[in-house]
Structure 1
Amino acid sequence: MNFRIKSFISIFIISSFFISCEKEFDTVIDTQKPSYQVVSVSPKDSVIFNVNDSSLVVSIQFTQSSIINSVIAEIIDPAGKNYLGETLPLFDNGKSVNGDQSANDKIFSNKMFMKSNSLNGKYDLKFYTSDNTSPQKLVAWSTFKYRNGQSNTAPEISNALVEPDTVEVTNTINILTSLVVNDQNGLNDIDEVFFIVYRPDGTTSGNKVFLFDDGNLTLNGDQTAGDGIYSRIISVNQSNAKGTYRFEFQAIDRGGLISNIINYAVLIQ
């Protein structure tokens, strides 16, 4: 089975050295070997919403900081959006309002605030510095997992569609697949919507074919972004084995809860 998925893959290459630092954080990026190095970053583990104090201290420690002019952090939420809508300046000023314990201790900090309706899942932290020798550059990249404390319910899927679901293959034919997804925690809580294809002989590669609710009609066949209808266009041709395929549809939320399963039969002749 060789369903061809219509998609574009971009590869971005950054000419930097990536140096592991004893698992204190995920990645340190050092392009010019400056006189300072990253010692640790925070947070780097799990964070749970606290109704009494929703502040979260973001910090980064250096071996020395005499030539550092500024430090900022960018927080990317599980949906890939800038959580604050801007960067977060970090300070080594010893002020409690910034969550910095001691001035000039080479630890730069600031507070941000999480919310009870902030997305569950993995948040990316990107740390940037500017110094006397270079403009702003990325020096460390870390992640933490967030739980908003709200009760989480599994997503529900319905109205699975494969159109057409019976095709006589004489050349390449496009097939539209779609699915309606609901989640009591909101569509932002949806992490993955996909199907797995089982061949006529019952075997499968196990690969997930992801559906999208992005309004990209040309690429994915999705008409309206954010309406809960997830779509994907695939194609079949003469190389596909003839017989009845089974498409197994499912969705997973950011808390890891799994939806019901819908199976859909597709006949390739």
Structure 2
Amino acid sequence: MNFRIKSFISILIISSVFISCEKEFDTVIDTQKPSYQVVSVSPKDSVLFNVNDSSLVISIQFQQNSIVNSVFAEMIDPSGKNFLGGSLQLYDNGKSENGDLTANDKIFSNKIFMRSNSLNGNYNLKFYASDNSSSQKLVAWSTFKYRNGQSNVAPEISNALVDPDTLVVTDTVAILTSLVVNDQNGMNDIKEVFFIVYRPDGTTSGNKVFLFDDGNLLQDGDQTAGDGIYSRIISVNQNNVKGTYRFEFQAIDRGGLTSNIINYPVLIQ
């Protein structure tokens, strides 16, 4: 048992409301009758990066009799982060720099620029509006799929570790698992890193045990966040069937490509 697992054991001892669907936008959640009605939002389908024009117009259209004072949007990328770093004000001013074609037509727009290294996958847009009450409310939610135009390369995994990999179990024992992951499209392209446990008789539940690169030593056994080493602490006890288990490690990227597989034997006596 190496120092890393010993350190962990020592510490251990011491111590959507909305769901995107085929509609263009979702139902208004305010129970009071609003002074506006959403007609459509954009984008809502697929967006492909264009090296000659990487701009993307985000817009929302209200009925003509709607009373709307201000509108802004938030965009969440496939990793769950705010892509814009905050909110984006939308305008109905007819200015091309905002991507708005006609002023005062109840279509509020603004323009952002995507990048060739922006994550592939589904982006969620949340639209907020206020009327004369000046109270900002979530009025619609849209999802679009983005493709950055780069060739997607499958991730690679190496240096799988299960420590200890041979143990006599008379009580609950902590086991450190870790794996090195590389992706030519960038580490943000990694969607899942996991292993599946196969029992001594070859059967499995098929459940994925996810590994993390979050720097959470106490919970996951991961020492440094973002270093490409994914880790997870699991435990076994005297109730586990004795014999040789097989841990099948793999990674999946956001484009759906799978890595090579590493099988690691673990003997429980």
TM-score range, shorter chain: 0.7 to 0.9
Which residue of structure 2 aligns with residue 261 of structure 1? 261
User: Could you tell me whether the CA contact under 8 Å between 2:74 and 2:126 is conserved in 1?
Assistant: yes
CA deviation after TM superposition for structure 1 residue 59, in Å: 0.9
Q: Does 1:71 align with 2:79?
A: no
User: Could you tell me whether the CA contact under 8 Å between 2:163 and 2:177 is conserved in 1?
Assistant: yes
Distance of 2:249 and 2:129 partners within structure 1: 45
CA deviation after TM superposition for structure 1 residue 172, in Å: 1.5
User: Could you tell me whether the CA contact under 8 Å between 1:92 and 1:106 is conserved in 2?
Assistant: yes
Structure 1 window deviating more from structure 2 (194-203 vs 217-226): it is 194-203
C-alpha distance 161-61 of structure 1, shift in aligned 2 (>3 A): same
Give 4+ residue runs of structure 1 displaced > 3 Å after superposition. Answer: 18-22
CA deviation after TM superposition for structure 1 residue 19, in Å: 9.1
Instruction: Write out per-residue CA displacement over residues 73-94 of structure 1, whole angstroms, 9 at most, x where no aligned residue.
Output: 1111122222121211111222
Which residue of structure 1 aligns with residue 249 of structure 2? 249
CA deviation after TM superposition for structure 1 residue 20, in Å: 8.2
Paired-residue identity, %: 81
Distance of 2:155 and 2:213 partners within structure 1: 15
Distance of 2:20 and 2:120 partners within structure 1: 27
CA deviation after TM superposition for structure 1 residue 179, in Å: 0.1
Which residue of structure 2 aligns with residue 38 of structure 1? 38
Distance of 2:230 and 2:163 partners within structure 1: 14
C-alpha distance 69-93 of structure 1, shift in aligned 2 (>3 A): same
Alignment of 1:1-269 (within 5 A): 23-25=23-25, 27-32=26-31, 33-64=33-64, 66-133=66-133, 135-269=135-269
C-alpha distance 37-30 of structure 1, shift in aligned 2 (>3 A): farther
Q: Secondary structure at the match of 1:68?
A: coil
Distance of 2:22 and 2:149 partners within structure 1: 31
C-alpha distance 221-265 of structure 1, shift in aligned 2 (>3 A): same
User: Could you tell me whether the CA contact under 8 Å between 2:178 and 2:229 is conserved in 1?
Assistant: yes
Which TM-score applies when normalising by structure 2? 0.87
User: Could you tell me whether the CA contact under 8 Å between 1:20 and 1:28 is conserved in 2?
Assistant: no
C-alpha distance 60-21 of structure 1, shift in aligned 2 (>3 A): farther
Count, aligned residues: 253
Which TM-score applies when normalising by structure 1? 0.87
Q: Which has the larger radius of gyration?
A: 2
Q: Match for 1:89: what amino acid?
A: Q
Distance of 2:22 and 2:118 partners within structure 1: 30
Instruction: Write out per-residue CA displacement over residues 187-215 of structure 1, whole angstroms, 9 at most, x where no aligned residue.
Output: 11111111111122212121111111111
Distance of 1:55 and 1:218 partners within structure 2: 43
C-alpha distance 251-19 of structure 1, shift in aligned 2 (>3 A): closer
Long gaps (5+) in structure 2: 1-15
Q: Match for 1:183: what amino acid?
A: D
C-alpha distance 138-239 of structure 1, shift in aligned 2 (>3 A): farther
